[in-house]
Amino acid sequence: MATVITLPLAVAPAAQASPVSDAVAVLLTKKVKGANVTKHLREFQRIADANGGNRAAGSAGYDKSVEYVSSKLRKAGYRVTTTDVEFPTGWAELAPPVLEQVSPNAKTYAPGVDFLTVTSSGSGDVTAEVQVIDAVLPPGPNPNTSTAGCEAADFAGFMPGRIALIQRGTCPYQQKADNAKAAGAAAVVFFNEGQPGRTDSYAFDIGEWRYGFPVVFADFAVGNELAASPGTRLHVKTTTRVDVGRTKNVLAETRTGDPDKVVVVGAHLDSVHEGAGINDNASGTAGVLETALQLRHFPVRHKVRFAFWGAEELGLLGSTQYVQGLSRAEHDRIKLYLNFDMIGSPNFGYFIYDGDNSDAVGAPAGPPGSAQIEKTFERFYQKRGLPFAGTDFSGRSDYGPFIETGIPAGGLFTGGEGIKTPEQAALFGGTAGAPFDPCYHTPCDSIANVNTTALDVNSDAVAAATATYAYDLSGIPPRNAPAAEAASAPRAIPEHAAH
């Protein structure tokens, strides 16, 4: 039987730290017990053991994980839905590609020598004028001088329907091709940057299979030649097959709370193929799940939407497709996003996403409000007398698509494959010179691979932050800028974040 606790909502002042949110945070953290969080972990281990040892997207272990969280949440009274997530399962090239100049001079380039089809490229047969995008020619003295195609602004004068010719350089190929697609390109021809050792064409997987147009990679000589003769018409043809699998995100929403103010709290539900994924990320899943199960007792002021993402390990696919599928109005209603990906690492640190970029490393600050979210977690650890540190907002987990479109975000992380420094060991305890999670993305990420103290503390932190924002959004500045404008603001994406 669910007990409903009634709270004096009317006494809460709107503009300052609300005593109601503080009171609920205390009550909810008491209800979220480490032993119950661990029970969920045992269930995810059992699911993996019974289904080939993993819970990866597309596997029976994943589908059972979906059933487990859905049924728990449904029984707790939540409105549970799923959204489809597509992921690539295979790619093949069915015929040699074609790249030729049609006019002014007919000239055919040799596949496998002058150019290659980029893995994951779509199929297409395009004849159109080529347009060079912001190239540095002759090439700069050092590798990665060119920023060609990295910014949407590089395509300002681009004619839709043309073929984009884009030089290798500072940012991931996927970022360049995304911008080309957004600008209406009919095909993309990449070419090598041109410094010594960077002249040949080579094979790589662009990691995005939904362009639906040819993407080829030419050597520097070809790119240089095409860039030198504006108005050239090109014929590009690729014949490929993309196999697509389908999986699901699980979403569970409170029945109470203002539907115009939505707080999204998420964790990825999938593991890698290599193992059961208990720290990564049954830990975050279990903390969020138990918070949801206990929050059912409280009449929240804002709608809380718990999200269990699919196919995160394949490149944040579940959260990315979810955010892309939101209407403008739905996007505006989401006031913030909290993310929990690995919260019980064996050699843990208490890391908070660096929303204000106070650490000044890696990616810039998150959207306005992210700094306040970081402060909320800092206050949680301070109250318990626990140490904490920032961790770069690199975009490597499901908060990525939220911050990219202007939604403030924050969350926790206890460390992955990175090595704990002596300074971090002095701060958090544990073993210096060893990884935070020695079983990261390996078969030993099992129920034995979790520090229960860190898991317990951080599950309380999930509860405290969820309660805070379920009742009090006064610290989050209103978002006036349209999502599209926020999305087009240049944001440096570190190379390692590219999938």
DSSP 328-375: HHHHHHEEEEEEES----TT---EEE-TT-TT--SS---STTHHHHHH
Rounded to whole angstroms, the Cα distance separating 67 from 50 reads 14
- How far are the Cα atoms of 98, 152, 173, 277, 312 from residue 205, in angstroms, in the given order? 19, 22, 9, 25, 18
User: In the structure, how many helices (H) and strands (E) does the chain have?
Assistant: 13, 14
- Cβ proximity to Zn ion: between 167 and 281 the closer is 281
Q: What residues have CB less than 8 Å from 432, skipping those under 6 apart?
A: 420, 421, 422, 424, 425
- Cβ proximity to Zn ion: between 117 and 391 the closer is 391
Q: Least Å distance between CB 268 and Zn ion?
A: 5
- Cβ proximity to Zn ion: between 58 and 97 the closer is 58
Which is it for strands 334-340 and 258-268: parallel, antiparallel or unpaired? parallel
Question: At 111, is the secondary structure helix, strand, or coil?
Answer: strand
| Residue whose entry in the numeric block shows the structure tokens 């970022």 | 175
Rounded to whole angstroms, the Cα distance separating 26 from 23 reads 5
Q: Least Å distance between CB 279 and Zn ion?
A: 9
- Residue 119, classified by CB atoms within 10 Å of its CB into exposed (0-12), middle (13-18) or buried (19+), is middle
- Cβ proximity to Zn ion: between 249 and 294 the closer is 249
Q: Least Å distance between CB 396 and Zn ion?
A: 9
Which is it for strands 233-253 and 79-103: parallel, antiparallel or unpaired? antiparallel
Q: Least Å distance between CB 440 and Zn ion?
A: 9
Q: Least Å distance between CB 335 and Zn ion?
A: 24
Torsion over CA of 344, 347, 349 and 353, rounded to 10 degrees? -60
Rounded to whole angstroms, the Cα distance separating 231 from 233 reads 6
Q: Least Å distance between CB 267 and Zn ion?
A: 8
- Cβ proximity to Zn ion: between 223 and 411 the closer is 411
Q: Least Å distance between CB 58 and Zn ion?
A: 17
- Cβ proximity to Zn ion: between 114 and 341 the closer is 341
- φ/ψ (deg, to 5) at 488: -85, -5
Which one is catalytic: 312, 313, 374, 404?
312
- Name beta bridge partners: 148: none
Q: Is 312 a catalytic residue?
A: yes
Rounded to whole angstroms, the Cα distance separating 28 from 317 reads 31
- Cβ proximity to Zn ion: between 280 and 374 the closer is 280
- Computed over its alpha carbons, how large is the radius of gyration of the chain? 24
Binding site for Zn ion (CB under 5 A): 280-281, 341
Rounded to whole angstroms, the Cα distance separating 401 from 316 reads 8
Q: Least Å distance between CB 312 and Zn ion?
A: 6
Rounded to whole angstroms, the Cα distance separating 419 from 428 reads 13
Residue type, 329: A
- Cβ proximity to Zn ion: between 65 and 254 the closer is 65
Catalytic residues: 312
